[in-house]
């Protein structure tokens, strides 16, 4: 099954209170799962990676085989696509975890999108942060 996943992560204060937002769509582009989660103190980049990890785990639970991500963090997309090196040790841990989970799928693609095309995941992040 092909899944389309929009993810976003954010931290107010950078570092500060952080949250992730994940929206999973099926092949017909129908929303089949939404995740909003408080992740504690984090940086924006940590939150972006944690959102991807939540998306990968959701795809695994939903028995996805081909996964297409839409992420508004150019840094995270470039790192996951191998265009940029991951130098920061904490980000390397998240990167390595994502690469391990990826092995369970036929294919995983990471696409950069402008923030306005990722509004549902962004909205979820802000809703979570507004409640703390």
Residue 54 has pLDDT above 90, yes or no: yes
Give the CATH number for residue 62: 3.30.420.10
Angular region, 114: left φ>0, alpha ψ -120 to 50, beta rest: beta
Contact of 24 with 55, CB cutoff 8 Å: yes
- Give the pLDDT mean for 94-109: 98
Residue 129 has pLDDT above 90, yes or no: yes
pTM, two decimals, is 0.97
User: Phi then psi for 67, rounded to 5 degrees?
Assistant: -120, 130
- In the chain, the percentage of residues whose pLDDT exceeds 90 is 98
Q: What is the DSSP letter of 50?
A: H
Domain around 27: 2-130
Number of domains in the chain: 1
SS3 62: coil
Q: Predicted confidence band at 14 (pLDDT cuts at 50, 70, 90)?
A: confident
């Amino acid at each position: 099954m092909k899944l389309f996943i929009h993810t976003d992560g954010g931290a107010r204060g950078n570092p500060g209170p952080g949250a992730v937002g994940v929206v999973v769509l099926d092949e017909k582009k129908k929303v089949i799962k939404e995740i909003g989660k408080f992740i504690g103190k984090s940086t924006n980049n940590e939150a972006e990676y944690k959102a991807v990890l939540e998306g990968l785990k959701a795809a695994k639970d939903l028995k996805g085989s081909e996964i297409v991500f839409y992420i508004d963090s150019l840094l995270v997309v470039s790192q996951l696509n191998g265009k940029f090196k991951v130098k920061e040790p904490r980000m390397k841990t998240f990167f390595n975890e994502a690469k391990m989970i990826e092995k369970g799928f036929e294919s995983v693609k990471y696409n950069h999108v402008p923030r306005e095309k990722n509004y549902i995941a962004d909205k979820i992040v802000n809703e979570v942060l507004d409640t703390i």
